[in-house]
Amino acid sequence: MAAPLLEIDDLRVGIRSNAAAEILRGVSLTIERGETLAVVGESGCGKSLTSLSVMGLLPDGLEKRGGTIRFEGAILPITDNEAMRRIRGRRIGMVFQEPMAALNPVFTIGDQVAEVILEHEAVSRADAMARVVDLLARVGLPDPAQIAREHPHRLSGGQRQRVVIAMALACRPDLLIADEPTTALDVTVQAQIMRLLQELQRDLGIAILLITHNLGLVAQVADRVAVMYAGRKVEEAATAGLFAAPQHPYTRGLLAATPRPGRRRAGEPPLTEIPGVVPSVTELLSGCRFRPRCAFAGDVCASVDPAFGGRVACHFPQTVELVPGVVT
């Protein structure tokens, strides 16, 4: 059997100045060709750090402590910046939350998209420019030849994100990492961008690693979902199964806390809370990191951090199906 497109195995990342502080505590994820894997979780769970690791863009002050990342079976040299430059943009495309941060305000759109092609391929400038116009048309921008001549500030937020997607796809990558790609956009624009990503995926066969906090988007576009909490993957399942019968108490809490239409009951609090707060990276906590917030925790949870076994990392996985609108 062919190797998975991307395989992250037991990835550990810590703070260089603090040997005890680990931000990614052994994350394993696999993405097959053409599929969409959503990684969800709240701020600080390590979902963005996981995607930055894949691209070899670990922030200053952090260090890889262990684990491997394989791309088509070969180990990704994520600490070798020169080697990663040849892979980023060509084999792995990236789309981030804030399109304006990914675009240089002093160059035209055409120059910036062409630069990606010229960086990775031996083509003439004129050929690159012709491909740019095709790409801009492909991501649904009207009058692409004109847009290629414009500077980023002339475009709306949604148009800018389309340009960033065109840049990410310029060299026909196999994997697109989309880290909160629509979080800064209005919801109507978000729907257009997500539809575009799905269309491009279908036509080009790219795999998408979608990093998001938005469970609505996950439900609509992901094939599989990995839920992260405090630097670990706590549950992974096919999308339908995860939403119908979440097993980890944190996944259940997250779904219960998410607003959805028609669940309101008169005289009751509008939403279901998860009590407490996420532990900080430097907080030393034995056993399961979710334990202080968990209604199902037992003695073993305080001493043994549960290993990930097939579906969940939990000593007491829950098996009762969720009935929509009813909180268990």
Partner 1 sequence: MTALLSVRDLHCSFETTRGTVHAVRGVSLDLAPGETLALVGESGCGKTTLARCILGLQKPDSGEIRLGGDNLVGLSRREARRYRPRMQCVFQDPFSSLNPRRRVEDLIREPLDVQGIGTPAERRRKTSELMERVGLRPDWGRRFPHEFSGGQRQRIGIARALSLRPSVLICDEPVSALDVSVQAQIINLLWELQRDMGLSYLFITHDLMLVENFADRVAMMYQGRIVEEGPAQEIWRNPQHAFTQSLIDAIPIPDPNVPMGSGRAAFSA
Q: How many CA atoms lie within 13 A of 291 on its CB side?
A: 17
- CA dist 119 and 108 (Å) reads 17
DSSP string across 114-166: HHHHHHHS---HHHHHHHHHHHHHHTT-SSHHHHHHS-GGGS-HHHHHHHHHH
Between 139 and 274, name the residue whose CB sits nearer to partner 1. 274
- In order of 49, 130, 206, 281, the CA distances from 12 in angstroms are 10, 43, 27, 13
Q: How many residues bind partner 1 (CB under 8 A)?
A: 41
SS3 content of the chain, % helix, strand, coil (to 5): 35, 20, 45
Asked whether position 199 contacts partner 1 by CB under 8 A, the answer is: no
CB-nearer residue toward partner 1: 270 or 310: 270
The answer to whether residue 298 forms part of the interface with partner 1 (CB under 8 A) is no
User: By C-beta, is 143 or 273 nearer to partner 1?
Assistant: 273
Does position 191 bind partner 1 by CB under 8 A? yes
| β-sheet bridge partners, residue 88 | 92
Kindly state whether residue 318 participates in binding partner 1, applying the rule CB under 8 A: no
Q: Choose one: 4-12, 166-174, 188-196, 294-302; the region binding partner 1 (CB under 8 A).
A: 188-196
Continuous segment of H or E residues that includes residue 237? strand 232-238
Which 3 state secondary structure label does DSSP give 70?
A: strand
In the complex, minimum distance from the CB of residue 260 to partner 1, in angstroms, rounded to a whole number: 5
Q: Is residue 205 at the binding interface for partner 1, with CB under 8 A as the rule?
A: no
Minimal distance in Å, beta carbon 237 to partner 1?
A: 11
For partner 1, which stretch binds (CB under 8 A), given 7-15, 93-101, 126-134, 186-194?
186-194
**Using the rule CB under 8 A, which residue among 65, 70, 260, 311 binds partner 1?**
260
The one segment of 25-33, 114-122, 133-141, 181-189 that binds partner 1 by CB under 8 A:
181-189
Least CB distance to partner 1 at residue 159 (A): 14
| 3-state secondary structure (DSSP) of residue 178 | strand
Residue 196, SS3 per DSSP: helix
254 binds partner 1 (CB under 8 A): yes
Rounded Cα–Cα distance for residues 281 and 135 (Å): 42
311 binds partner 1 (CB under 8 A): no
3-state secondary structure at position 319: coil
CA distance 292 to 286: 11
Position among 16, 101, 324, 328 found at the interface with partner 1 (CB under 8 A): 324
Q: Are 110 and 132 in contact (CB under 8 A)?
A: yes
Nearer to partner 1, 73 or 325 (CB): 325
- Regarding 249 and contact with partner 1 (CB under 8 A), the answer is no
The reply on whether position 30 binds partner 1 by CB under 8 A is no
Closest CB 280 distance from partner 1, rounded Å: 9
Residues near partner 1 (CB under 8 A) are: 42-43, 186-188, 190-191, 194-195, 213-221, 239-240, 243, 253-255, 257-264, 269-274, 277-278, 324
